[in-house]
Amino acid sequence: MRNKQALVFSFLGILWILYLGLRAFYVPFTFDESATFFHFVHTGDFWFFTSLPDAGNHFINTLLTYISYSLFGSSKFALRLPNLLSAIVFLYYLFRISLFLNNKSIRWIFILSLMFSHYFIEFLAVSRGYGLSMAFLFGAFYYLMKFSSDFSIKHLLFLSLFLLLALFSNFSILVLSMAIIVYLIILLIFNKKNSVKYGIYRLFVIILLQVLPLAFAAYYMFYLQGKGSLYYGNTDGFWVLTTMSLILFLTGTKMMVFQVAVFVYVLGMLCGTSLLIWREKPTVLLQPKLVFPVLLFSTIIGLLLLTALFSVNNPEDRVAMYLIPLFIGSISMITDTLVVSTGKKWLTLLLIPLLFLPVHFLSVINLHYVNGYITEVIPERFYETIANDNDNQGAYPATIGGYRMRMFCWTYMNFRNGGNQNLIDYKAYPDMQSDYQIVDVDEYPGWLINYDVIATEDIMGRKLLKRKQQIEYELVIKNTINPISEMNKEFYSLANWDADTLKGHSYLVGINMAIHSPEIPFHAWVVMQINDKNGKTLQYKNIPFDWLKTRWYKDGNRFKNSLLTGTLPPETGLIKVYIWNINKGIFTIEEGEIDLSRVKESRLE
């Protein structure tokens, strides 16, 4: 019978992997994926304490993505390949864990509700640490269940390995990791069958391979908190934030029926666990099948304590997604244990509502977006439309306005297409000067006075706008950029313009220079900085070289980009344009020009 189930599972698994593979190939890159690529993968600078301090650096994901990038390049599929391969690990251990369930119907409900929970499994085809963490966690769950029954050192070592990989893929499971360690220690305390030496040996493994990595992770989390980099979530109530966001994450809605269902299931799990303890004894909680509810409630208690005692943010949506398999696993394992204990097979019917998840899967199946990042979607045809527009063939690429959470998605597409377009200017959002806008028109209907809709994104209805009348510019200043050879200073000035006669108008700063560097990538920025008369920064915009191209060769590479200043306020004192050579790498400028052109206000009306 199990062989037949394995065959059915394998068939479903092949189709499932193919679907995730298609998503990895077709779904547009998200903001977080692009940020991970440019901040950590492309530069190769992702090690603890030396790289940019940001919670978005999911270390194992970044490391594996860097390896995949080095081998296969920067395509979406190549960067998502580590997560896609981890889906096989997830499938394998999902099936192995399901075999702990005695009732066949419960087993398949457990499998289908996790395997076809779309908004959960889509992270297995995204270049982030969440999917990797879930895959490794299932390995850890399986070996924890095995260890709780046989105390095998082999199972403990595998558990430690998978828990380490899961934790360093996503530090948000830190409390869950702590719960697993405490559970292991309790198992050893209540193990009366073996000698003290036997237990001490296993305790040493737990301390070395689990407690010490956990302590390092906790220390690093406090380091990030000190840098202001733990920005996701807040201290709102656990139900209001975490539970409600997970309901929305799983179902796409916060309908009351789902809230009631979760509440009833939680109440049912508490009653079911209490019944098992009453019918047997408290040590029933140490049985393999009850690992899930013990970890679920231990983790929730830990999260509540952290918020109450240390004002640590409660997790939400994808950051809390590890609670989903714990929740579904707890319901399934408790129900199965009760069916075996009481002989009442009708209890299986209590799990029928979980089949909503595979039904929901069929309704949202797509190759167009990641639900967790749906508000950031920019179709690649938007890029193609702008790049191929006849009105975008001037001295400098067109200026593009948009919200900051879409900036990296555009930057990745531009990078993949040679880096020949300007980046999205999000710092002046919403503005009326950019040649194109990628926006939600409802946020600022005034756009439609000066812009035409030339394309629409199908999921959220986002618009690509183009100015009805092109902006005209009047050249004010044109400077030659002095040639330099093999410079490695941190800062190099391109222009310094006194703003006394420039105030009250908006300008376009255009830079066109032949620049090359042996650095791969060339980690430097062109910066436009506008200061007041006291030196205080009023505006700061930048264009990173390594966000445009990986290699800046000697022949044929030109930096040709522009930046809008916006209307200069009365207190403006100086406009500075310079190269910030962040890593102090060698670069050469053979020749170039930088100009300042005034925007003709009549075209802004």
Three-state SS for 117-165 is CHHHHHHHHCCCHHHHHHHHHHHHHHHHHHHHHHCCHHHHHHHHHHHHH
Amino acid (1-letter code) at residue 151: F
Strands 451-456, 424-425: pairing is unpaired
291-343 pLDDT per residue, tens: 999 999 999 999 999 988 888 888 999 999 999 999 999 999 999 999 998 99
Neighbour-count burial for 414-442, b at 16+ CB within 10 Å, e otherwise: bbeeebebbbbbbbbbebbbbbbbbbebe
27-36 pLDDT per residue, tens: 999 999 999 9
Both 300 and 389 in one domain: the answer is no
Q: What is the pLDDT of residue 8?
A: 94
Both 389 and 510 in one domain: the answer is no
Q: What is the pLDDT of residue 473?
A: 93
Q: How far apart are CA 380 and CA 392, in angstroms?
A: 17
The pLDDT of 549-577, averaged and rounded, is: 93
Q: How far apart are CA 512 and CA 496, in angstroms?
A: 16
Choice among 155-164, 396-405, 596-605 with the minimum mean pLDDT:
596-605
Which of the four pLDDT bands, split at 50, 70 and 90, describes residue 197? confident
Q: What is the pLDDT of residue 1?
A: 55
412-444 pLDDT per residue, tens: 999 999 999 999 999 988 889 999 999 999 988
| Domain-terminating residue out of 467, 490, 511 | 467
End-to-end alpha-carbon separation of the chain, Å? 75
Q: How far apart are CA 473 and CA 466, in angstroms?
A: 17
Backbone phi and psi for residue 269, each to the nearest 5 degrees, phi listed first: -65, -40
The pLDDT of 380-388, averaged and rounded, is: 95
Both 400 and 496 in one domain: the answer is no
Choice among 1-5, 346-350, 517-521, 567-571 with the minimum mean pLDDT:
1-5
| Domain-terminating residue out of 467, 489, 511 | 467
> Does residue 16 have a pLDDT over 80?
yes
Q: How far apart are CA 251 and CA 119, in angstroms?
A: 8
Residue range of the domain that includes 32: 2-373
Tokens standing for 252? 């796409």
Q: Which long-range contacts (CB under 8 A, 24 or more apart) does 87-92 make?
A: 87/16, 87/17, 87/20, 87/121, 87/124, 87/125, 87/131, 87/135, 88/17, 89/135, 89/136, 89/138, 89/139, 90/121, 90/124, 90/131, 90/134, 90/135, 90/138, 91/13, 91/16, 91/17, 91/115
118-130 pLDDT per residue, tens: 999 999 999 999 9
Both 407 and 430 in one domain: the answer is yes
Higher pLDDT, 411 or 604: 411
Choice among 85-94, 214-223, 281-290, 345-354 with the minimum mean pLDDT:
281-290
Q: What is the pLDDT of residue 228?
A: 84
> Does residue 23 have a pLDDT over 90?
yes
Both 362 and 286 in one domain: the answer is yes
Number of C-alpha atoms within 13 angstroms, CB side, residue 423?
26
Both 251 and 383 in one domain: the answer is no
Tokens standing for 135? 């895959």
336-372 pLDDT per residue, tens: 999 998 999 999 999 999 999 999 999 999 999 998 8
* Cα→Cα distances 172→122, 156, 214, 405, 565, Å: 18, 22, 12, 22, 40
Both 381 and 428 in one domain: the answer is yes
* Nearest residue to 247 via CA among 135, 109, 357: 357
Both 175 and 296 in one domain: the answer is yes
Both 51 and 134 in one domain: the answer is yes
Q: What is the pLDDT of residue 504?
A: 92
Q: What is the pLDDT of residue 377?
A: 83
Provide the whole-model pTM. Answer: 0.94
Both 420 and 495 in one domain: the answer is no
With a CB cutoff of 8 Å and minimum separation 6, the contacts of 529 are 537, 539, 540, 575, 576, 577, 578
Q: What is the pLDDT of residue 281?
A: 84
> Does residue 559 have a pLDDT over 90?
yes
Helix-then-strand count for the chain, H and E? 19, 14
The number of distinct structural domains making up the chain is: 3
74-107 pLDDT per residue, tens: 999 999 999 999 999 999 999 999 999 999 999 9
Q: What is the CATH number for 589?
A: 2.60.120.760
Choice among 281-290, 536-545, 583-592 with the minimum mean pLDDT:
281-290
Q: Which helix (H) or strand (E) holds 291?
A: helix 291-310
Strands 473-480, 587-599: pairing is antiparallel
| Domain-terminating residue out of 373, 390, 407 | 373
Q: What is the pLDDT of residue 210?
A: 96
Q: How far apart are CA 389 and CA 47, in angstroms?
A: 42
Answer whether 79's CB lies under 8 Å from 68's CB: yes
Percentage of the chain beyond pLDDT 70 is: 99
33-62 pLDDT per residue, tens: 999 999 999 999 999 999 999 989 999 999
Both 406 and 483 in one domain: the answer is no
Q: What is the pLDDT of residue 148?
A: 94
Both 53 and 170 in one domain: the answer is yes
Which of the four pLDDT bands, split at 50, 70 and 90, describes residue 192? confident
> Does residue 578 have a pLDDT over 90?
yes
Q: What is the pLDDT of residue 328?
A: 98
Q: What average pLDDT is seen over the chain? A: 93
